[in-house]
Amino acid sequence: MSKFAVLGHGVVGSGTVELFLKNRELINSRQGTDLELGYILDIREFPGLSYSDKFTKDINDILNDDEVTVVAEVMGGVNPAFDFVLSCLNRGKSVCTSNKELVAKKGAELIAAAKAHNCSFLFEASTGGAIPIIHPMYTSLAGNEITAVCGILNGTTNYILTQMIENGTPFDKALSEAQAKGYAEKDPTADIEGHDANRKICILSSLAFGRHVYPDWVHCEGISNITAEDAAYAKSNGYAVKLIGSVKKLPDGKILPMVAPRFVPLSCQLAFVSDVFNGIMVYGNGFDEVMMYGKGAGKLPTASAVLGDIIECAKADGTILSCTWEDSADNSFIADHKDDTVRMYVRCSGSSTQDIEAAFGSVDFIKADGINGETAFITAAMPEKDIDAALEGLCSRVINTIRLLG
Ligand code: HSE
């Protein structure tokens, strides 16, 4: 029998238990496993559940039980999750986690600990919810050099933007709905300000390029300054507004990871990824491009990925499954986004266009239904630092800027 433990009985933890109990016979017969739920660690009380006897408040019950070979960490946050995960790995127990903050901040160390103790550290659920994205990057796509990854990596903000733009729902109401549906982080600032997407692009960057990318090294913007007017300009001119996490390898060998809202052209499939769904494009030198799509947040979609990792570990029977990346001493391999060439949407007060053309040269002026008495335009492609310099001359007029994707 393979016993597994679940650390944390929150949204994802309770979903993992629920999905396992619902599908236990199917899983064990199809997968040839003999998986059983051993423990659930949580300091809270959960009376009246059919599996109430599984709860413990003491991590040592799990650490000291040799029958527990796999542990799912679904608590979130770095502390105490890091200590618990490291203790499990040091005892040779494989760990599966949905905790993107833990992987983004401590992934290199935990991968090394798993290797040192002949067990696995898996984190499919940390990025893209139910979408299989982590495994394909180091298995099915492993014969390629990955050149870029670009996607919608946060379900909460995508849900909010969809509700605001498609249904005219106010921001606060859309956020409350996302919280009620179990999509948002405990502190939803992490979603809104892009920190959650940042952690996920760090994980994908580390995986794609083999060196740990820490969140502090990544330029990160959220969606808090996106307005209905910006969405109207986008819609009237063939774009969707999306929070995009991206990383690309540059000709000089550096990589450029970043998180920011983008005008996404309707020619790109990411423009049609709505609601809580995530979509992730991966580019490589053999397969060219693949796109993965699915529910990026929520109880059972995330539990699905956790449970998949648990089953894989149970089947592996001592084989180390973890992917590999090395820790990074410094961020000298990360490029400055201000040197990147982009096109920028700019919204200005006033209707004069002469100073705009004087500063930027040729631009595309755009209109939006129902908006008058102001000016919006899209620049030609140029280094972002040159756009900043041109914007300085207009500064009192500038209302907002958003980069284009592509
Ligand atoms: N808050 C996260 C999101 C949960 O909305 O995407 C899934 O990682």
Residues taking part in catalysis: 200
161 and 259 in a single domain? The answer is yes
Atom of ligand 1 nearest to the CA of 296: 6
Percent of the chain residues topping a pLDDT of 90? 95
pLDDT value at residue 395: 78
pLDDT value, residue 140:
96
Q: Are residues 23 and 161 in the same domain?
A: no
Quote the ligand 1 centre to 221 CA distance (angstroms): 16
- Residue 360 makes CB contacts below 8 A (sequence gap 6+) with 377, 379, 380, 387, 390
Q: Which atom of ligand 1 is nearest to the CA of 154?
A: 6
> Please, which residues have CB within 8 angstroms of residue 225's CB and are 6 or more apart in sequence?
400
Task: Quote the DSSP letter at residue 365.
Answer: E
Q: So what's the pLDDT on residue 393?
A: 87
Q: Phi and psi of 377, rounded to 5°?
A: -150, 165
Q: What is the pLDDT of residues 391-402, one digit of tens each?
A: 998 878 999 999
Residue that terminates a domain, selected from 283, 315, 347: 315
- Give 30 Cα–ligand 1 centroid separation in angstroms: 30
Residue 323 placed within a domain:
no
Residue 45: inside a domain: yes
**Is 255 domain-assigned?**
yes
Would the CB of 129 count as within 6 Å of ligand 1? yes
Which residue, 41, 74, 68, is CA-closest to 56? 41
181 in the same domain as 289: yes
* Cα–Cα dist 37/202, whole Å: 32
* Residue that is written with structure tokens 């002949």 in the block: 118
Which of 74, 98, 131, 156 is the best mutation target for the ligand 1 pocket, counting ligand atoms within 8 Å of the beta carbon and taking the most? Answer: 156
Give the Å distance between the CA of 100 and the centre of ligand 1.
9
Determine the pLDDT at residue 406: 87
* Boundaries of domain holding 304: 2-129+300-315
Answer yes or no: do 310 and 277 share one domain.
no
Task: Give the torsion through C-alpha atoms of 303, 308, 314, 320, to 10 deg.
Answer: -120
Whether residue 14 lies inside any domain: the answer is: yes
Whether residue 356 sits in one domain with residue 311: no
Q: Look at residue 305 in the predicted model and tell me its pLDDT.
A: 98
Q: What is the CATH number of the domain that holds 76?
A: 3.40.50.720
Q: From the CA of 44, how far away is ligand 1's center (Å)? A: 23
**Structural domain includes residue 179:** yes
Locate the ligand 1 atom nearest the alpha carbon of residue 157 and give its number. 5
CA distances for 336 relative to 250, 302, 369, 383, 385, angstroms: 11, 33, 36, 11, 10
287 shares its domain with 309 = no
Indicate if 226 and 251 belong to the same structural domain. Answer: yes
Q: What is the dihedral of CA 189, 192, 196, 197, to 10 degrees?
A: -160
Tell me the per-residue pLDDT of 304-326, one tens digit each, with 9 for 90 and over: 999 999 999 999 877 777 788 99
Say whether both 357 and 222 belong to one domain.
Answer: no
Are 6 and 108 found together in one domain? yes
Task: Determine which residue's CA is closest to atom 1 belonging to ligand 1.
Answer: 184
Helices (H), 225-322: 228-236, 299-316
Pair 201, 288 in one domain = yes
| Alpha helical stretches, state H, 119-170 | 134-138, 155-167
* Type of residue numbered 252: D
Which of the residues in the chain have pLDDT under 50?
none
CATH of the domain at 275: 3.30.360.10
**DSSP element (H, E) containing 31:** helix 11-31
156 and 111, same structural domain?
Answer: no
What is the pTM for the complete model shown? Answer: 0.97
Half-sphere exposure of 11 (CA within 13 A, CB side): 19
Mutate to test the pocket of ligand 1, among 12, 183, 242, 304 (most ligand atoms within 8 A of CB): 183
Spacing, Cα 200 to ligand 1 middle (Å): 10
User: Measuring CA to CA, which residue among 310, 272, 396 is closest to residue 74?
Assistant: 310
Domain count, the chain: 3
